[in-house]
Structure 1
Amino acid sequence: MKKIPTNIITGFLGVGKTTTILQLLKNKPENESWAVLVNEFGEVGIDGAFLAEGGAMVKEVPGGCMCCTAGLPMSVGINALLRQKPDRLIIEPTGLGHPKKIIAILQSENYEKYIDLKATIGLVDPRNLSDEKYVSNQNFNDQLGISDVVVATKMDMVSDYDECLFDSWTKELSTQPKTTKINHGDLPQSWLDEDRTIELTIEEHHHHHAEQDIVEMALEPGQKFCRKENKGQGYVSCGWFFGAESVFDFEELFSMLSDLNAERIKAVMNTDKGCYAFNVANRVVSVNQLSIEGMESKLEVIDTQLLPWDQLETILLSLIIE
């Protein structure tokens, strides 16, 4: 088979990776079929539902860094997608992961006949560059330090100071990546065809989770919902999975997500107004209607500290109207 052009799109929590990939899928050539391997820190796997709306073949690796367990979860997902013979493969690692080992696996002899590894695209919200929580985080710096192209996102929300900070900050990077700036995830496909220029010289600093099997989220007969928690790299997550028979009050759900103060929230929910995707970053809730009807509901909350999960669960259950 011909080599599949492959890109890694990396970046910290909330920078717009999924939005950017959705825009790329929307603007891809009509005669091409693309595949996406998406990795999430949380256990319930939400991004797959977002990306499936874009018409891509999608495989999910939830539950932390997908290069753990000797790369087995990642390899399983890649192999399944390659068998579909896509015209392009996009890999979205967790915002709390480091792409170095992923790149090493893709460049290994196992994939040298099948994958044409193109530029790694690193996304950054310029507003984060003035926040010590981000600029002192090793993963944040390593993700961008391994990127061939660094993209400033959400430029419609960025001040002149933030933009100047991005310009000066990228010029000081020793790797001297190419840079661009975008709104609403609108990255031209031409950037995906840039060649790799950066060698793997950055040390890995993240700690892998213990070896574990990939577990599909499923409910037992008669079970209304299940809950999964995860922790690592200074972050914790809690996710809920509800059966398709659970229908949530849209207005109450939106209000709850607006009031919830957490680092990152994602959800795909079956509501009385239809199925919707909810995306919360910087306490701003964005909502998109999904074409799928009667789907299972999933919600994931990520923060730097434990939140009152039991209390939040009680609130979620009170929002079910059917």
Structure 2
Amino acid sequence: MTISSMIQNVPCTLVTGFLGAGKTTLINQLLSTKTIGARWALLINEFGRIGIDGALLTQDNSDQQDIAISEVSGGCICCTSQLPLQIALSRLLSEHRPQRLIIEPTGLAHPRELLRQLSEPHWQTALNMQAVIAVLSAVQWQNPKYRDHEGFQAHICAADVIVINRYKQLSATCQQEMQAWITELNPQAQLIWAQLPEASETALLKSITDKLTRQLNTSSQILSQQTGSLSHSRIRLQPPMQLLTPKTSAISTDIVQDETLPYRYHDSQQGIFQQNMTVGGWRLPAEWVFDADALQQWLLALPEWQRIKGVVNTSDGWLQLNFTPDSLSTATTSAQVDSRLEIILLSKKGSDTSVEKTTNDKNQPQESQENRAIWDDELMALIL
């Protein structure tokens, strides 16, 4: 039997949503529905260079040996070239041969481009695309900066199902206005109201989980409309020859996997909302123990932060950190091979509070480097 004959009609679910909407929490909920022995695979795209979402996922699922995770780090798989997507998908499918695949693109991605790629003929036989699920943070929606932005709206327009998260903080009137806004953008989308996680309300959690499970086996109408104009020719997926080698123990495409610890990086570029964006992260030895309270206070005091994620060895044990401006989540987890932190900071161009000061362009590189050195020193001071 050839590799290509094994890779056919794998049910695939795309979980999208703007940065910090709650995609990782929802995927954990989906993983909880996996039956023992079923082989699932996750393809996670992270904007930064350090893979963290893989550690935030599957921690509460006892059948982890049948969940393969591949992390494509260091940019968006749908923005530049299809090569990272081709390699990651081919490797997952050929090595793990999953019975179900879930793809989580970065919250800064444009889902329409990814849907276009997955509609190409060479994926039509390999993947059986199910309903596209978008997670919408109701708290983010309240801010006009988000709801009026095309990148935020794109996730709503490209979804079969919209999971509305953190809606209980909105008044009944605001909830009605949000529903009307969704309907105007995407009248065909099915809505699921879900305060994630809803562990304290068992009956409601079961209802939400049942609805999500049904979407794992419901064909995507969005994709069927998109592929309607494509050629009906279908070819089987044949992985690149270099991927047909014997299976290795690691299938992650994390580009910093082989860096010597401790490792730090920072990137600066133009981001969303016409703002400069700083993406930075650290991978640190597992034996370094951080003061849990001081670490969280330091992270939350960083200027103009948009997202903070981490898995860190602390005085309170190994902790998962998952922070957005409207949601601060911490949880204990099992020991990891190293500690990882990643932050995304946004700043208005020319603002006095800008991390990457732009009021004097010729001084910007020097000031940026000074900020990074300060962060390093402050972080190292938190080690016990």
TM interval, short-chain normalised: 0.7 to 0.9
Instruction: Indicate whether 1:97 and 2:98 are aligned.
Output: no
Identify which of 266, 269, 279 aligns with 1:231.
269
- Separation of aligned partners in 2, 1:157 and 1:23: 21
Alignment deviations for residues 15-64 of structure 1 (CA, whole Å, 9 cap, x no partner): 10001001111222233221110111112121111124242311001112
Q: 1:300 aligns with which of 324, 339, 342?
A: 342
2:49/2:256 contact within 8 Å kept: no
- Once residues 293 and 139 of structure 2 are traced to their aligned partners in structure 1, the CA distance between those partners, rounded to angstroms, is 30
> Is 2:76 the counterpart of 1:65?
yes
Q: Which of 347, 372, 376 is the aligned partner of 1:313? A: 376
Amino acid at match of 1:147: A
Counterpart Cα distance in 2 of 1:240 and 1:63: 14
1:82 corresponds in structure 2 to 93
> Is this contact kept in 1: 2:50–2:254, CA < 8 A?
no
Kept in 2: contact 1:43–1:229 (CA 8 A): no
SS in 1 for 2:151: helix
Does the CA-based 8 Å contact 1:126-1:152 persist in structure 2? yes
- Residue 277 (structure 1) shift: 0.7
Cα distance in structure 1, aligned partners of 2:34 and 2:52: 23
Q: How many residues align?
A: 307
Return 276-285 or 146-155, whichever deviates more.
276-285
Say if 2:265 is the partner of 1:253.
Answer: no
Distance 2:166 2:35 in 1: 25
The answer to whether the 8 Å contact 2:16/2:105 transfers is: yes
Does residue 195 (structure 1) correspond to residue 219 (structure 2)? The answer is yes
CA displacement at 1:167 relative to structure 2: 1.5
The runs of 4+ residues in structure 1 deviating greater than 6 Å are: none
Structure richer in helix, relative to its length: 2
Given the two structures, how large is their TM-score scaled by the length of structure 1?
Answer: 0.87
Quick one: which amino acid aligns to residue 196 of structure 1? Answer: S
Q: Residues 151-190 of structure 1 correspond to what in structure 2 (within 5 A)? A: 151-185=163-197, 187=209, 188-190=212-214
Residue in structure 1 matched with residue 146 of structure 2 by the alignment = 134
Contact 1:40-1:94 at 8 Å conserved across structures: yes
Task: Quickly say closer, same or farther: Cα 1:174–1:189, change in 2 above 3 A.
Answer: closer
C-alpha displacement of 1:138: 1.5
Structure 1 residue 283, shift from structure 2 partner: 5.5
For the aligned residue pairs, the C-alpha RMSD in angstroms reads 2.2
Larger radius of gyration: 2
In the TM superposition, residue 246 of structure 1 has moved relative to its aligned partner by 2.0
Identity across the alignment (%):
32
Aligned residue for 1:310, secondary structure, equals helix
Q: Counterpart of 2:316?
A: 273
Residue aligning to 1:144: 156
Aligned pair partner of 1:20 in 19, 26, 30: 26
- Unpaired segments ≥5 residues, structure 1: 202-212
Cα deviation digits, residues 170-201 of structure 1 (max 9, x gap): 22124531111112155431122222112349
